[in-house]
C-alpha cells in the first residue's frame, strides 16, 4: 500500500482539507503516476458538495490529471518510467460490454470506475482523484501526453477538452460547418478552439457582452448576445450545430430556433433543473436534441495527439492546493479564465 497525501471533503458542508490515505500497490498491469498538475472541474464542486446526490465521503476530487510515471508493473508495455501520462474521468470499466469493446468506455453498460467518487472494479473500494500526490492506474486507462505541450495547460484537456472534442467529431464538424458554442467558460473556450481547428465557422453565444473580446481572441468568427432578441431572431435557422456548455438554467427553445433544418443542439452542460422543450421547437425543422459525455480512451488519446500537433491547450490560472476552497467560490461566480489548475508541488 502506498501512503498518499491529498485534500478531501469530509462531508457535503465541509471545506476541502488535508487528508491522507493509501493507494493500492502497483500491480503487474499498473503504473504509478506522480501527479504534477490537476485541473479543477465544476463537477468537482457539485460532487464535493453533494449536489448530485451520489457523493461518497471522504472524497478526494480531481479528474484532470497530468504527471510523471514513477513506476511500472512487470507486464506494462505502453508506458515507461519518466513518461508524461494523463488520467481523465475514469480509471476502469467492465471491458466486456459493447461500449467497452468498441472503445466507448465512457458509456460502459457494466461498471465504470470513475476517477473519484466512484468504486474500483470490486464495486466496494472507493476511488480517490487527482487532488493528491500520486495515483495508481491500469496502463490501459492512462493516456500518453506529449512533453512538447505546456503540461499545466494540458490537464483540463482530460475533461473539458475531450467533452467538447468528442461531440464535434461525432457530428462531423468540418470546414463547411457553421457552429455555435453556447457559453464561454471552461468547456466553451475549448469548444471554440476545437471548432476553429476543425475549420468550422464558429459563433460564440453568451449572455455577457463582456465576453465578446475574449471570444474573438480565442478565434471565434462572430459573437451573439443571447439577451438581445433581435440578434437571436436574425440568427434563426443559421447553425448546423450548437454546442451547449451552459450549466445554469436557460431557454432551450430560444436556442433551438437558431438551428438549421436537420441541425443538432448537443448538451454537454448540466443545468440544475430539467429543461423544458416544446415539440414545435424540433418538429418543423427536423432538429435533433442530443447529449454527449467525455470520450473513450482511444478518442481521448486521439484528442491529445491532435492537440500536440496543433499546439492546442486550455487557458488556465494556476493555484496552490491550499487555495482550492477560494477557487471553488470564484468558480461559482464565473471568476476564472478559463480553468483553474492546481500545482500539486504545493501539496
Model confidence pLDDT, tens digit, residues 204-248: 999 999 999 999 999 999 999 999 999 999 999 999 999 999 999
pLDDT at 148: 94
Q: What average pLDDT does the structure give for the chain?
A: 97
Return the pLDDT at 111: 97
Measure the CA–CA gap between 134 and 67, rounded to whole angstroms. 8
pLDDT exceeding 90 applies to what percent of the chain?
A: 97
Domain regions of the chain by residue span: 2-159+314-346, 161-291
With b for 16 or more beta-carbon neighbours within 10 A and e for fewer, the 104-121 pattern comes to bbbebeebbbbbbbbbeb
pTM confidence score: 0.96
Given a cut of 90, is residue 196 above it in pLDDT? yes
Banded pLDDT at 259 (limits 50, 70, 90): very high
| pLDDT value for 145 | 98
Question: Cα(189)–Cα(78) distance, rounded to whole angstroms?
Answer: 31
Nearest to 117, CA basis, from 147, 90, 149: 90
CATH topology of domain 161-291: Rossmann fold (3.40.50)
Determine how β-strand 143-144 pairs with β-strand 84-87. Answer: antiparallel
DSSP string covering 267-314: E-S--SS-----GGGTGGGT-EEEE-----HHHHHHHHHHHHHHT---
pLDDT digits (tens, 9 = 90+) for 305-325: 999 999 999 999 999 999 999
Q: What average pLDDT score do residues 82-91 get? A: 98
Q: How confident is the model at residue 74 (pLDDT cuts 50, 70, 90)?
A: very high
What would the grid cell of residue 19 be?
A: 487528508
Question: Average pLDDT of 6-34?
Answer: 98
State yes or no: pLDDT of 272 exceeds 90: no
Centre a 10 Å sphere on the Cβ of residue 204 and count the other Cβ atoms it contains: 27
Q: What is the pLDDT of residue 193?
A: 98
CA distance 223 to 217: 11
Can you give the pLDDT at residue 189?
98
In CATH, the number for domain 2-159+314-346 is 3.90.180.10
Is residue 273's pLDDT more than 90?
no
Amino acid at each position: 500500500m502506498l501512503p498518499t497525501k491529498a485534500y478531501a471533503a469530509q462531508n457535503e458542508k465541509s471545506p476541502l482539507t488535508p487528508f491522507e490515505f493509501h493507494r493500492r500497490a502497483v500491480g503487474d498491469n499498473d503504473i504509478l503516476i506522480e501527479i504534477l498538475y490537476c485541473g479543477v472541474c465544476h463537477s468537482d464542486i457539485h460532487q464535493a458538495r453533494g449536489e448530485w446526490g451520489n457523493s461518497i465521503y471522504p472524497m478526494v476530487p480531481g479528474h484532470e490529471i497530468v504527471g510523471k510515471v514513477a513506476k511500472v508493473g512487470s507486464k506494462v508495455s505502453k508506458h515507461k518510467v519518466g513518461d508524461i501520462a494523463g488520467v481523465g474521468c475514469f480509471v476502469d470499466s467492465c471491458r466486456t460490454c459493447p461500449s467497452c469493446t468498441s472503445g466507448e468506455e465512457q458509456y460502459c453498460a457494466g461498471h465504470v470506475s470513475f476517477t473519484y467518487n466512484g468504486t474500483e472494479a470490486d464495486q466496494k473500494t472507493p476511488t480517490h482523484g487527482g487532488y493528491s500526490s500520486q495515483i495508481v492506474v491500469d496502463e490501459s486507462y492512462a493516456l500518453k501526453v506529449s512533453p512538447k505541450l505546456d503540461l499545466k495547460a494540458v490537464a483540463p484537456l482530460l475533461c473539458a477538452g475531450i467533452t467538447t472534442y468528442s461531440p464535434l467529431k461525432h457530428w462531423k464538424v468540418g470546414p463547411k460547418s457553421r457552429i455555435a458554442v453556447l457559453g464561454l467558460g471552461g468547456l466553451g473556450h475549448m469548444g471554440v478552439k476545437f471548432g476553429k481547428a476543425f475549420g468550422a465557422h464558429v459563433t460564440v453565444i453568451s449572455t455577457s457582452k463582456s465576453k465578446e473580446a475574449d471570444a474573438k481572441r480565442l478565434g471565434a468568427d462572430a459573437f451573439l448576445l443571447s439577451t438581445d432578441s433581435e440578434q437571436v431572431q436574425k440568427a434563426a435557422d443559421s447553425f448546423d450545430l450548437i454546442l451547449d456548455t451552459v450549466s445554469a438554467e436557460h431557454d432551450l427553445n430560444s436556442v433551438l430556433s437558431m438551428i438549421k433544418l436537420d441541425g443538432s443542439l448537443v448538451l454537454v452542460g448540466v443545468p440544475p433543473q430539467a429543461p423544458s422543450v416544446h415539440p414545435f421547437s424540433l418538429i418543423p425543422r427536423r432538429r435533433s436534441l442530443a447529449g454527449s459525455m467525455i470520450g473513450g480512451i482511444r478518442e481521448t488519446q486521439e484528442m491529445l495527439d491532435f492537440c500536440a500537433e496543433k499546439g492546442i491547450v486550455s487557458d488556465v490560472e494556476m493555484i496552490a492546493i491550499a487555495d482550492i476552497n477560494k477557487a471553488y467560490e470564484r468558480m461559482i461566480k464565473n471568476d476564472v479564465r478559463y480553468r483553474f489548475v492546481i500545482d500539486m508541488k504545493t501539496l
